[in-house]
Chain A
Amino acid sequence: MAHLVGLEPAQIERIERGEAAPPFATLKRYARLFGARIDRFFESGGSASPTTLLFRSAAEHGADLGSVLTADDLLVLGDFLASVADVDELERKLGEPPAIVPRLESADLTDPEWPQGQEFAARAREALGLGIEPIPSMRLLLEDRLHWSLFFVAPHELSPALQGASTIEPRPAILVNLVEGRESWWRTRVSLAHEMCHILYDSRTIARPYLISPQGELRGRREWAIVDRFRGLERRANAFAVHFLAPSAAIRTVVGASMSPDSERAIDAVCTSFGIGRTVAVRRLGHEYRISEETQNHLIERGSEHAPAKDHPDAAVVPGVRRGRLEALVDRASTAGLIEPVMARAILDIPLSEPLPGPAIDDREPLWTKEQAAFARAEAQVRASGGRGCWASEARRTDRGWEVVVHYPQPNEIVTRTIYLADDLEPLHA
């Protein structure tokens, strides 16, 4: 915990014993790590928060999550969970329809094996009335039809080791790491379908309301064993994803009798029809038509001359945990007067010195001038070096950023200092 919040272990112990008060920045970081907005963190405590469960799960299974996920990863996961709660609150305020999670009965959910993925995908399709038709957009299916919340992050925000995450509490929500960018929409579709499986089948049975999904094969990677049978769950979700997107009967219909299943035409047809990538298409064809592993690998390595279409509904995603759907909800709730501008900024993590997104109306104008933001930064710097009771009186724009004049009392004089800040308000040396 000390490592994660950036303090010494002794400092954390003093805070936890109530002997020291943490700086606000530390409280905020705690709340983020525990997946809660700061007021909710203090209302309910952190004991039931998903990150606590994550740590407990890892500890119970002897895993070293810290060797896999960085502190920044955990902050992004925390932001995801906090944003899900914000979406839930805003949707309730706006009277949005509740999320739909079809109840899908299954013989054995507790001992996951990958072949179940195919069966589960068929049941999910049946429950949703999808038949064997291709799914034009996973995003629209999940967001518009089931009212689930989808979040996307750019690869620089989250380790590529973490492909996605999902939670069912307080509402079904999925986080997708756009590892290869949003242009690789076929990959996004598989990630969404994978996390969909966790929400439909796993979230209730593993007694954890959320799951994270690593990149690649889990064999021998003890550190990821955060819940029982995690590897089986992941393999089942992978199988679910590809069968949900490209059902066996539909593949056979597309390939028909006129194409050889290992031909370039068949691969392209499957990619195009079902909105999946070449690797998945080859593996699905291989599975359906018993194509040898060696031939499959050859087909994958050979690559295609046809680039996938750039325009696809599932490419139209907005990276950033607090962007997209959350931003749209804040916009609507602000317009309807259901949230005030400070809370809107706290939810979207927008500084007081920046306008809120949306039409330029009074309520969305910055609450602080840039000069005020420079004041606050310069005062913090002076206070940190012992200038108790300091105040800024003047901020001048310069070529390099800002010069801020700050004063503070000493027994025999009022000391005046000039603080130099860059445009982004980071301290500069004089």
Chain B
Amino acid sequence: MDRHFLQVRANYCVPACIVMVEAWRGTLSAPPDERQHEIFDQLAVNGLCALEDAARLLPHEGVGEPDIDPAHQAVFLGQRITAGRRAIVTCRPGLLGQILAPRKLSSPHGTLTGNTPHHAIYVFGAEQGHFDVYDPWHFTAGQPLRLSRAQLARAWTGMMLIATK
């Protein structure tokens, strides 16, 4: 089952997404907030968790080294999600913030802005050119978020981790 978890701290997006994958897989072994701390302690380098390193903790089909221009990759992501996988993808925070701004979501961490470290989100649904995602930056209210393929592509870095059951 897909569940949303708020990231405990502003630099915990990757741990929060890993917890969402673990909840989907039924392997979440600790309370979600506690588990985010555990994951952060395992992965963080100088206060940042790289998506590439999430692969150490999850069964996966691969960490997508991005195509330089991910139109094909967005189509591929949709196919893998439709085939029953889940994904963590990273976005450019400022661009994602702009796309989400009209939805008036709330977050204890402020607004997503600028070309700061990439922000990870959890992708669990794909249908007819749309993706259903959970964004750990924002509270659960108003989620899941339905993003068109173009909206996701606009903010996406192209990095993705395709998780398997």
Contact = CB atoms under 8 A, between A and B. Distances in A.
A425 B49 CA distance: 28
Interface stretch (A21-29, A163-171, A173-181): A21-29
Contacts of B92: 372, 375
Given A340-B148, A394-B115, A380 B71 contact: no
A389 B48 contact: yes
A342 B50 contact: no
Nearest to A394: B115
B80 A42 contact: yes
Interface in B34-54: 45-53
Interface string B125-165: 00001000000000000000000111001100110000000
Contact of B62 (A22, A28, A392, A413): A22
B104 interface: no
Nearest to A395: B115
B65 A28 contact: no
B70 interface: yes
Interface stretch (A98-106, A213-221, A281-289, A343-351): A343-351
A91 B92 CA distance: 36
Nearest to A22: B62
Interface in B51-74: 51-53, 60-74
Interface residues of B, number: 45
Contacts of B83: 42-43
A15 to B, nearest CB: 10
A39 B75 contact: yes
B75 to A, nearest CB: 5
Interface in A328-386: 339-343, 345-346, 349-353, 367-368, 372-373, 375-377, 379-380, 383
B65 A383 contact: yes
A388 B90 CA distance: 13
Contacts of B61: 21
A339 B116 CA distance: 33
B53 A28 contact: no
A342 B67 contact: no
B115 A343 contact: no
A47 interface: no
A409 interface: yes
Contact of A38 (B45, B48, B75, B117): B75
Nearest to A383: B65
Interface in B65-119: 65-76, 78-80, 83, 92, 95, 114-118
Tell which of B72, B83, B116 has the most Cβ of chain A within 10 Å: B72
B52 to A, nearest CB: 5
Given A25-B65, A352-B70, A380-B65, A389 B149 contact: no
A21 B62 CA distance: 5
Contact of B50 (A350, A389, A392, A425): A389
Tell which of B68, B78, B95 has the most Cβ of chain A within 10 Å: B68
A368 B154 contact: yes
A349 B79 CA distance: 18
A45 B71 CA distance: 21
A425 B95 CA distance: 21
Contacts of A380: 65-66, 68
A28 B76 CA distance: 9
Contacts of B66: 24, 376, 379-380
A279 B80 CA distance: 53
Contact of B153 (A342, A394, A407, A412): A342
A320 to B, nearest CB: 17
Contact of B71 (A27, A342, A411): A342
A380 B114 CA distance: 19
Contacts of A411: 45-46
B68 A342 contact: no
Contacts of B47: 409
Contacts of A25: 65, 67
A376 B52 contact: no
A42 B76 contact: yes
B138 to A, nearest CB: 20
Nearest to A354: B69
Contact of B52 (A38, A352, A388, A391): A388
B71 A388 contact: no
A339 B80 CA distance: 19
A410 interface: yes
A375 B114 CA distance: 13
Contacts of A391: 115-118, 157
13 contacts: A22-B62, A24-B76, A37-B72, A42-B83, A345-B71, A351-B71, A352-B70, A368-B153, A376-B69, A389-B52, A389-B118, A409-B47, A409-B50
